[in-house]
Chain A
Amino acid sequence: MTTTAIRHGGLGNAISDALTMIGRSIRLSRRDVETLMMAILLPLLMMSLFVYVFGGAINTGVEYINYVVPGTILLCVGYGAASTAMAVADDMNNGMIDRLRSMPISSFALLTGHVVASMAKNALSTAIVIGTAIAMGFRPNGSVVDWLLTAGLLALYVLALSWLAAGLGAVARSVQAASGLSFFMLFLPYLSSAFVPPGTMPAFLRVISENQPITPVIETTRGLLTGTPIGDNGWTALVWTAGLLLFSFILATALYRRRISR
């Protein structure tokens, strides 16, 4: 037989496996048009709703469209993460995981594939949100360096949330369960400075809002793009995001190992 000569294992093959699975996940999410549309249109709809309906009544001290863009981007990231959790759960529960695990490859490539596809999906949705916002009157004034810093911070945040989603997908016993588990990722942006300044919230909500990771990320992004004061938020955002990434990666790896442990 010709195939017995093929060697499995080794770093080269591990990278090749990861690339194959990344290609697969990107192809699958590109073709799942409904989920992709939902993940992009819903946040756009929310942005329009806030800008044209509620925005007039919210006093943020700046033009409301300039205030709301970073929050909308993070809302999008939440939806993207939820769809990643669902895609992972689908693979864990429909037999694909058994096929991969009965092959001489590292089945970890499955998660890598989903996480990288999630990054690509979010890059697209972020570009769409910013483009639409500019059409609606968003006027960013950040420099090239500001934009690069924003992209870096958002990429780190997306990566953290994607690993968290991969972990949730790995424990979920069904696609619906994965969707349920991801609910908090969709909800958390509302309890931040995404749409209204936390100063207007009741005391206990303000405590949550001011001490959760999304608020510093939003404040930093807003500062970089529109020139509002950033203060300590830059470092807080970085520490939160890096910590979340480390935590999510370890959690996802552990949950995945446990799920496939024999």
Chain B
Amino acid sequence: MIVDVQGLRKAYRDNVVLDGVDLHVPEGSVYALLGPNGAGKTTTIRILTTLTRPDAGQVLVAGHDVVREPAKVRARISLTGQYAAVDNEQTGRENLVMIGRLMHLGPAAARRRAMQLLERFDLVEAMNRRVSAYSGGMRRRLDLAMSLVAEPRVIFLDEPTTGLDPASRTTMWDAISDLVRAGTTIVLTTQYLEEADKLADWIVLIDNGRVSLSGTADSLKAQVGGERLELTFDDEGSALRAGELLGGTVDRERRLLDLPSDGSAAHVHTVLNNLYAARVPVARVSAHRPTLDDVFMTATKNRTLERANA
């Protein structure tokens, strides 16, 4: 495990932010911390990157303890925070060379490394322009490039695409996928389920300072059930009759029948044939695959119920 966290706790005065978090990240994987605002995602990243000291628990990153050997951890990781940490009044190239110099690369090597990264992140054309003239997507790409100057073993990305337009988001996703192919381990936080679904090998849902669910995207989706078919009718009577005929759950108000399905065309065909034979007119048909949204909603709903019962 390149990142190994056991029983991590952190509180600010009476406010418990992390209440016993365990994380086990295998080398070369993409690990996503998912959760609503204030769930403790950023605090977790800050502790893993040595910026914040944990109250309790053991945190090993690249084989070193973040509290006892922060310098060794820092030499093996990089952090791309929520806000692009780039100097607006330096050019893209100057920003990269500065980081190279701070990583003690030597002037020529720092310049060479900067050029490589500018090429890789499609910033060569803009390299001598000040960052203040860059688009949001270019700033994030530069920010990520700055994190790669020293070829870290683990990259921490705190909400890497928050606030980006869809095109820039896709570009960031491609850049992250390239890193994974090169064998780098990535730990990222996100509020976007789609992002976790697309990028992550393993997803951890953090809620209220605890890990409330974890697994692969598919296993999490399986936890909320299989695919469903949704039939809408013109009137309540039809919906009820269809329910008697086919089973499933009727939503009288919305004139809707919710049926479990295997997702095949043959099943849709059978359902519609049966309704046609019984002369029950159907207005609309839609198929639903469970999404991480459903997982997310189910998990947070359960918590609300638990609270109400407590």
Contact = CB atoms under 8 A, between A and B. Distances in A.
B289 interface: no
* Residue from A1, A101, A104 having most chain B Cβ neighbours under 10 A: A104
Contacts of A100: 102
Contacts of B94: 27
Interface residues of A, number: 30
Interface stretch (B76-84, B263-271, B301-309): B76-84
A262 B51 contact: yes
Given A6-B105, A95-B82, A24 B90 contact: yes
A2 B81 contact: no
A16 B101 contact: yes
Q: Is the interface of B mostly helix, strand, loop or mixed?
A: loop
A20 B102 contact: yes
Contacts of B49: 98, 102
Interface in A1-48: 1-3, 6-9, 13, 16-17, 20-21, 23-24, 27-28, 31-32
A19 B287 CA distance: 62
Given A95-B83, A262-B50, A262-B52, A103 B89 contact: no
Contacts of B99: 103
Contacts of B105: 3, 6
A20 B90 contact: no
Contact of A20 (B74, B84, B101, B150): B101
A6 B103 contact: yes
B262 interface: no
A185 interface: no
Nearest to A260: B51
A251 B99 CA distance: 28
Contact of B79 (A6, A16, A32, A102): A102
B103 A28 contact: no
Interface in A146-184: none
A6 B100 CA distance: 12
Nearest to A29: B89
Given A103-B99, A262-B50, 6 more contacts: A6-B103, A20-B98, A32-B89, A98-B85, A102-B74, A104-B75
Interface of A: 1-3, 6-9, 13, 16-17, 20-21, 23-24, 27-28, 31-32, 94-96, 98-105, 262
28 contacts: A3-B151, A6-B104, A9-B71, A16-B104, A17-B102, A20-B102, A21-B102, A24-B98, A27-B90, A31-B90, A31-B130, A32-B89, A94-B83, A95-B85, A98-B49, A98-B79, A98-B85, A99-B85, A102-B49, A102-B50, A102-B51, A102-B77, A102-B79, A103-B74, A103-B78, A104-B71, A104-B75, A104-B103
